[in-house]
Amino acid sequence: MKRALIGLLALGLGLGLAQQAPLKIGVVVSATGPAASLGIPERNTLLLLEEQVNRRGGVAGHPVQFIILDDASDTTQAVRATRRLIQEDQVLAIIGTTTTPASLGMIDVVAEAGVPKISLAANLEIVFPVDEKRRWVFKTPQTEQQMSQPIVRDMAASGVKTAAYIGFNDAYGEGWARAFEATAREAGIQVVASERFARTDTSVTGQVLRILARNPDAVLIGGSGTAPVLPQRTLRERGYRGLIYQTHGVANPDFLRVGGDVVIGTRLPAGPVLVFDQLPPDFPNRQVATSYVQQYESRFGIGSYSTFGGHAYDAWAILRPALERALRREQTSNLAAFRRVLRDEIEATRNVVGTHGIFNMSPTDHLGLRFNEAAVMVEIVKTPTGKLDWKLLRTFR
């Protein structure tokens, strides 16, 4: 009898959801191409969340539908996908995309249509300054300005006096070059070389030789995904023995797999979720980060999580309560008005604990993360079993 009653309740819940119009959320990620190691965990996380949310009754009684498109790590395709989601699918909001250049390319489209977007890319210029276009754009990853601070602090503590930089020849790499050089200058560290490479390059020998000629104490590689393995491997093969730093753009298991022993000893800033089980017990988002990792690994396998899936998780942690508040104020049938209300509610986000930190948005801050809660310093080490792993070096609280 009890089982029959539970079954009837579940059936009733399912029928109720089926009768409600779905809340359509557009998603653009780089599930293929050079940034696939970032985009795949983002996509997987949102698929997991969609299943969980609808199993538990949706959002305010509405089922949620993530319409996920792959931009193949290409800006043109990201813009095309954004237009399709807005014009054809009539989505309420957009999450994405994975890379900085493509996220920047999407801004004009969402601003023109008046659709709120939560980016999964790092560059500060995606959300700053909050002008007439960027008022529609929010994001979850830490900026290069925030993440350059732990790098430079670690360099100074390690006695580094001179450093070199080699990064992507796009908006991500340029943003990191500016942020790192400014932060290093304030700390009295001289940047003696600054080089660029393409995400699809197969050789960076010329750039590395120019760096080696300046004999820096440390080198920062400004890239994401697995492509930054190339300059690191080239540096080591050419005999460089100084400190090598990477950005939070490589905090994924594929970087370890592709890099192998050549990336042992690498230091990088990362969101705290990367080392969730090494965080102090009182770290403010340890519980959320742990829960997310456990959910993700139960579905996709032990060791499969990354910080990038965490950015997608955090985007939904912000969007869901904003949707609930917006639904109390406006009908989704009035699409343009609902999108405006939803934008306002995202901007009103306060004290949302995510996998990477605590989000507090404002009219002038569409990220809302504080550096000391959103960044930790880690090192890549080889465990006694021969596995590469992330080791927490320090927090900044």
C-alpha torsion 130→132→138→139, nearest 10: -60
- The answer to whether the CB of 87 falls within 8 A of the CB of 109 is no
Distance CA 149, CA 160 (A): 14
pLDDT digits (tens, 9 = 90+) for 4-25: 544 444 455 555 555 688 999 9
pLDDT at 19: 66
Task: Indicate if the pLDDT at residue 255 is higher than 50.
Answer: yes
- Give just the sign of the alpha carbon dihedral 10, 15, 16, 21: positive
pLDDT digits (tens, 9 = 90+) for 78-105: 999 999 999 999 999 999 999 999 999 9
Task: Indicate if the pLDDT at residue 134 is higher than 90.
Answer: yes
Question: Which H or E run contains 47?
Answer: helix 36-55
Domains along the chain? 23-142+289-366 (3.40.50.2300), 144-270+375-395 (3.40.50.2300)
Report the mean per-residue pLDDT for the chain.
95
Q: Which of 220, 242, 247 is nearest to 231 (CA)?
A: 220
pTM of the model: 0.92
- Phi and psi at 119, nearest 5°, equal -80, 150
pLDDT digits (tens, 9 = 90+) for 212-225: 999 999 999 999 99
Distance CA 86, CA 46 (A): 19
Question: What are the structure tokens assigned to 107, written together?
Answer: 């801004």
